[in-house]
Amino acid sequence: MLVTTERQTDLIRVASYRCDAGPDAQPFTELHEGYSVSYVRKGSFGYRTRGRAYELVAGSVLVGCPGDEYVCTHDNHVCGDECLAFHLSPGFVELIGGDRKAWRTGGLPPLAELVVIGELAQAAADGQGDAGLDELGMWFASRFVDVVSGRAKPRPAPAALPRDRRRAVDAAMWIDAHSQHDIGLDGAAAEAGLSAFHFLRLFSQVLGVTPHQYLVRSRLRHAARLLADDDSRPVTEVALDVGFADLSNFVRTFHRAAGVSPGGFRKAARGDRKIFQDRLATLFHDDRLIHSSSRKPSCTPPPD
């Protein structure tokens, strides 16, 4: 595992994780030492914590809660995995809130509200654009709390067989690689060698989203990266390149996910700080807290 600290302040530490472990790698128990939300940028891996199992693919989120034991597995490892992790101070967690259940979410499937910010943060970590990586991390973490606090807790799905989990992960990788094309349920099911009904049930059971939801969120993820990397390509061209059939649908879907238009998102990637200030202002009494190196974070955990 290669770990690189990209940015560190009193409130947040941003680190890149690159793992090349294969299916034969021996899993072992680790311990979350603090609060964290990690955006899966590439690849896939299994995550086991508190008796629950998650298959995490590109766009998924791994949630860490202090004191929780976890195991990462690589049975369905295809090409290694890369994550961008936001390790949060207790003081910052107290500011953004979220109860104990929220911080024990374990893992989240790719969600539109998070993939666009995750891609913007990854672009910043790669040196593309002028956005502040610490502020992006705080935006991502606060949006995570908003999302999980307003989302009904799903009932645990019955455990899938290892072979079926692999099928679902392989299907997600295929959908992500071909998301710019017109992919229907029948075509994705045929690629997986399953009936449409069986494929829909299996994919949703293992990954927590339907194939169509994953397809749309893959398109949003790719669009976010294009907007962050290239400020010369027209928004219409970006929409068509990633698989949206018309501009109005893309703009509406992107705005609903990111909270800003594609054009506003591009400005943020180029260093327009107003978007961060607007979204973080409600968390802070004044913006000196963001940049201060003298204020010590509180160690008070979020309420149960």
Q: Which amino acid, 286?
A: D
183-201 burial, b at 16+ Cβ within 10 Å, e below that, comes to bebeebbeebebebeebbe
Q: Which amino acid, 266?
A: R
| Pairing label, strands 61-64, 69-73 | unpaired
Q: What is the pLDDT along the chain (304 residues), one digit of tens a residue?
A: 899 999 999 899 999 999 988 777 788 899 999 999 999 999 999 999 999 999 999 999 999 999 999 999 887 656 678 999 999 999 899 888 888 889 999 999 999 999 999 999 999 998 876 778 888 998 899 999 999 987 655 555 566 788 888 999 999 999 999 999 999 999 999 999 999 999 999 999 999 999 999 999 999 999 999 999 988 899 999 999 999 999 999 999 999 998 889 999 998 888 777 776 676 666 665 443 444 433 333 334 444 4
Contact 283, 93 (CB under 8 A): no
| Pairing label, strands 2-8, 12-19 | antiparallel
> How many angstroms separate the CA atoms of 230 and 105, rounded?
34
- Cβ-based burial of 296 (10 A; exposed 0-12, middle 13-18, buried ≥19): exposed
Other beta carbons within 10 Å of 69: 11
